[in-house]
Amino acid sequence: MNIENLTTIQQSVKETLDIRAGIAAGHKRNVLICGGTGCTSSGSVKIHDAMQKALEERGISDEVKVIQTGCFGLCANGPIMIVYPEGTFYTHVSVDDVDEIVNEHLVGGKEVERLLHKEKTASGNVEPTSLSESQFYKKQHRVALRNCGFIDPENIDEYIGRDGYRAIAKVLNEMEPQQVIDEMKKSGLRGRGGGGFPTGLKWQFAADQPKGKKYVVCNADEGDPGAFMDRSILEGDPHAIIEAMEIAGYAVGADEGYIYVRAEYPIAVHRLQVAIKQAHEKGLLGNNILGTDFNFDITLRLGAGAFVCGEETALLTSIEGHRGEPRPRPPFPAVKGLFGKPTMNNNVETYANVAQIILNGADWYASMGTEKSKGTKVFALGGKITNTGLVEVPMGTTLREIIEEIGGGVPNGKKFKAAQTGGPSGGCIPAELIDTPIDYDNLTAIGCMMGSGGLIVMDEDNCMVDIAKFYLEFTVDESCGKCTPCRVGIVRLLETLEKITDGRGELEDLDKLEELCNYIKSGSLCGLGQTAPNPVLSTLRFFRDEYVAHVVDKKCPAHVCKNLMQYIIDDNKCVGCKMCSKGCPADAIHVNDGAVVKEGKKLPYLVIDQSKCVKCGACIATCKFKAIYKS
């Protein structure tokens, strides 16, 4: 394999990629079906197979190329299918729709109207909207996700067709290792895994160690609940990570890499395995890459379900085959890392930017973003938002743009209350700060954290004490148990929150919470413990009144905390159908014997026995007359 070979391969896939890019209009069609985890779990693989079969039966499988891609991002509307060159954007496709799509569209040439993606347009009408015109995509700027949902991730030729492995070719043929590092520094890229440490500096530290065995590691142990950007990149563009690790290896002087990926990501693992194999076969990984004397190989290691392994030193300990417990620094991994050797570790999204920086230049990259946070950032939108999914925007985009424009706002007419970033390590951004431009420093300034990019939207029905409790339950579960502040401290935090949500809280508990939070932050061994109190501190800061309502008034304003709320039947709306009573698992709803007749109706006809009610909410779900409410 050499550069000429790369060009040959690139030309061989040019036509099909051009069709998808809307540059060429050939008669051959490309049908792209999302093969990300979200769409897969709603049946997209079956759709792909059924489509292939249907095309073969009709003898047009040569005319239409069916491709299972990585994630498109708009997970809420999956499974997603796009037909090129028309660019027809189908959402919520099911396997039963395949015949209709083939007959009407692929054979008959007429789009299936009912499956077209529709959005409210400027005129207020709901109309079919193409992918590129959709609100969801319009404001995005895709660097890390550039190939996701565009290429077949299991076909290395398509990656090469998108200038893949050009960056490592450039580096090997035209650049000294130090030049590569300088380029990374100049780009301003910062670690996308949470801390935001300058990537170029990290590379420099590892490069500065004496020559000898060194390792390059890719942290793909994405563990924040609600974050799935790394997974989508691995599923949609695995070669980008392999190429970036090679570049890093060349820059720091390492010949071996480890990718530590969550075992809970079977599709990502599979695509990485395929990609590593293909890269090997093409001479793009292993010995004498691209005919040079540069050797680099990658071993895949599967995580085994421990959030703490996202912490750098715990990850290394885990690769070494031990309990994933962090170790104190110094020594830093750059000096003494994996198996005691200098080790450079970046996360998936960080690597996903590397080849683009090399190809387009540091200046291009640094032109995006804010002063201290360059480039783009991928966010996983979740929670109470219309467009659940994955978005990539330049640093500095405001929360409002992300939630209201790209995310389509909060559904069901509810009011936006707060967004949570950084998962269990992060904090909440309240509605009044919705115009904050999102970058590392702005988030830190308001007690939040970029984290890996999970962005969970909450509406008025979410109780902020409950949310803090949820994240603490997570960190309590995931604490490794090595250091005292984290092992015992966050349990005591959680117990205090439970006391508050149970209605047993006292005002002095709030001070005790703060005192303990501050100690755990400063006293814990690793990032997990040091950031675990953030959800509590952040909600205490912005939603203290909600805590006070729980403690003083013994009320949960959002009607979430079971001990502080009741289900009530509204006399005026209840028609006496008894559906709620039948559906009640606790047998807590009865006909009221003492009811009086009022306006021809026995009222109250049904009542909830609060001593029996388990607050499961089944009655609200069954009542067709919306006669039950929370108080």
Give the type of residue at 76: A
Q: Would you count residue 527 as binding other proteins (CB under 8 A)?
A: no
State the minimum distance, in angstroms, from the CB of residue 41 to other proteins.
4
State the minimum distance, in angstroms, from the CB of residue 172 to other proteins.
28
What does the buried/exposed string (b/e) look like for 91-102 if buried means 16 or more CB atoms within 10 Å of the residue's CB?
bebebebbeebb
For the beta sheet containing 427-430, the strands, ordered from the edge strand earlier in sequence to the opposite edge, are 389-394, 376-383, 454-459, 416-421, 427-430
Residue labelled with tokens 């950007």: 229
Among 525, 537, 574, 627, binds other proteins (CB under 8 A): 525
State the minimum distance, in angstroms, from the CB of residue 122 to other proteins.
26
Other Cβ atoms closer than 10 A to 226: 18
Among 304, 359, 552, 591, binds other proteins (CB under 8 A): 304
Question: What residues between 265 and 284 interact with other proteins by CB under 8 A?
Answer: 265
377 Cβ partners below 8 Å, 6+ apart?
192, 349, 392, 393, 394, 395, 438, 450, 453
Residue labelled with tokens 């559904």: 411
Question: What residues between 418 and 457 interact with other proteins by CB under 8 A?
Answer: 423, 454, 456
Measured between alpha carbons, how far apart are the two ends of the chain, in Å? 70
Q: Would you count residue 480 as binding other proteins (CB under 8 A)?
A: yes
Question: What residues between 337 and 366 interact with other proteins by CB under 8 A?
Answer: 339
Radius of gyration of the chain measured on its C-alpha atoms: 27
Q: Would you count residue 306 as binding other proteins (CB under 8 A)?
A: yes
Q: Would you count residue 625 as binding other proteins (CB under 8 A)?
A: no
State the minimum distance, in angstroms, from the CB of residue 38 to other proteins.
5
Q: Would you count residue 303 as binding other proteins (CB under 8 A)?
A: yes
Give the type of residue at 517: C
8 Å CB contact between 36 and 265: no
Distance CA 476, CA 536 (A): 13
Among 346, 479, 534, 539, binds other proteins (CB under 8 A): 479
Question: What residues between 535 and 554 interact with other proteins by CB under 8 A?
Answer: none
Among 330, 413, 594, 600, binds other proteins (CB under 8 A): 330
Question: What residues between 581 and 610 interact with other proteins by CB under 8 A?
Answer: 583, 585
478: its two tokens: 């995931």
DSSP string, 168-204: HHHHHHH--HHHHHHHHHHHT-B-TTTT--BHHHHHH
Question: What residues between 210 and 269 interact with other proteins by CB under 8 A?
Answer: 223, 225-226, 228, 231, 263-265
Choices 96-104, 162-170, 197-205, 488-496 (CB under 8 A): range interacting with other proteins: 488-496
Among 68, 77, 129, 140, binds other proteins (CB under 8 A): 77
Q: Would you count residue 153 as binding other proteins (CB under 8 A)?
A: no
DSSP string, 143-176: STTTTTTTS-TT-HHHHHHTTTTHHHHHHHHH--
H helix and E strand count, the chain: 27, 21
Q: Would you count residue 332 as binding other proteins (CB under 8 A)?
A: no
Q: Would you count residue 478 as binding other proteins (CB under 8 A)?
A: yes
Choices 11-19, 70-78, 112-120, 369-377 (CB under 8 A): range interacting with other proteins: 70-78
Among 22, 26, 87, 617, binds other proteins (CB under 8 A): 617
8 Å CB contact between 216 and 249: yes
DSSP-assigned beta bridge partners for residue 392: 378
Kindly determine how many residues on this chain lie close enough to bind other proteins according to the rule CB under 8 A: 78
State the minimum distance, in angstroms, from the CB of residue 322 to other proteins.
7
Choices 146-154, 179-187, 321-329, 588-596 (CB under 8 A): range interacting with other proteins: 321-329
Q: Would you count residue 305 as binding other proteins (CB under 8 A)?
A: yes
Give the type of residue at 564: L
